[in-house]
């Protein structure tokens, strides 16, 4: 009978392999992970990196959106307060325009509208967490300044017209602000300019251009309400996107767990088989070491 002269060498190699396999299975069993290094499964390791990046992106968006939701809520509340102030101003101006008030009453209304103008100025310079919300991308300084040295008074906008956006993990772009010049000083909605005009209209005890300026303030009010709808829509979109990102991160985490986690029952079974193979190999090698290979062959 022909005997492979490398029989013992081959048995030793097989024993080494079972020891490597045993170590790997033992590590999987103790860590609960199937893949602990690229060498275990290069494809799974690469997929795990991609999953981690996606999960981190979703988590980062969710954290950022929490702060941004606060910004949008403050913007919405501020515009709501502006709408309330403008309604008061329109009510006062309408009363002034009806022709029944004397000069003293008109001057009093001028002062009241000036107070409203100052309140709207303060709202236009609202900040959130140290950033001015109506300055466009220029959030570090108050966007509006008032000059009372002229009649009517003038307002200067120090911000820009940039619309800030936030991109969701799914690629959706959400508007985060309304530039102040769009709401408070534009030709379409010159809120502060029109309030200044109304203050000047009644300051001398007459009506002046009060009727026309009241109509302009009504238009500005409608436009401001529209901008508030824009912010409300952005807030809804952001809330929805945050929910999607959270759910997506949960799903990806489950996929990652399934990809990387060891099948404990299966690993335990494999480990038992490998240990049995290892014991058998050790026994064969030990027996062979006691004599010639031919001594262990059947007669």
Which tens digit of pLDDT belongs to each residue from 143-201? Answer: 999 999 999 999 999 999 999 999 988 889 999 999 999 999 998 889 999 999 999 99
> Which domains does the chain show, CATH number per domain?
50-254 (1.20.1330.10)
The answer to whether the pTM exceeds 0.85 is: no
**Bridge partners (DSSP) listed for residue 132:** 127
The helix/strand count (H/E) of the chain reads as 7, 6
Residue 1: per-residue pLDDT: 43
* 3-class secondary-structure state, position 216: helix
Q: Which residues of the chain have pLDDT under 70?
A: 1-41, 44-45, 48, 256-272, 274-299
Residue 215: per-residue pLDDT: 96
* 3-class secondary-structure state, position 169: coil
199 within 8 A of 114, measured Cβ to Cβ: yes
């Amino acid at each position: 009978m022909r005997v492979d002269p490398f029989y013992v060498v081959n048995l030793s190699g097989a024993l080494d392999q079972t020891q490597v396999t045993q170590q790997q299975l033992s590590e999987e069993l103790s860590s609960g992970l199937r893949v602990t290094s690229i060498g275990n499964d290069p494809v799974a390791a690469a997929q795990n990196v991609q999953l981690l990046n996606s999960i981190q992106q979703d988590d980062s968006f969710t954290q950022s959106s929490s702060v941004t939701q606060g910004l949008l809520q403050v913007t919405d509340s501020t515009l709501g307060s502006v709408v309330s102030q403008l309604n008061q101003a329109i009510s006062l101006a309408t009363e002034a325009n009806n022709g029944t008030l004397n000069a003293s009453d008109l001057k009093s209304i001028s002062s009241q509208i000036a107070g409203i103008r100052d309140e709207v100025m303060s709202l236009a310079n609202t900040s959130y967490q140290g950033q001015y919300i109506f300055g466009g991308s220029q959030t570090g300084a108050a966007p509006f300044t008032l000059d009372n040295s002229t009649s009517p008074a003038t307002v200067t906008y120090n911000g820009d017209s940039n619309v800030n956006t936030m991109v969701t993990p799914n690629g959706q772009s959400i508007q985060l602000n309304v530039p102040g010049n769009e709401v408070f000083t534009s030709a379409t909605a010159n809120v502060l300019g029109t309030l200044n005009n109304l203050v000047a209209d009644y300051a001398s005890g007459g009506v002046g251009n009060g009727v026309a300026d009241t109509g302009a303030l009504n238009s500005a009010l409608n436009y401001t309400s529209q901008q508030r709808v824009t912010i409300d829509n952005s807030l809804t979109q952001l809330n929805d996107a945050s929910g999607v990102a959270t759910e997506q991160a949960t799903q990806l985490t489950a996929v990652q767990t399934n990809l990387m986690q060891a099948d404990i029952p299966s690993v335990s079974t494999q480990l038992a088989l490998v240990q049995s193979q290892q014991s058998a190999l050790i026994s064969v090698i030990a027996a062979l070491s006691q004599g010639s290979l031919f001594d262990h062959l059947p007669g």
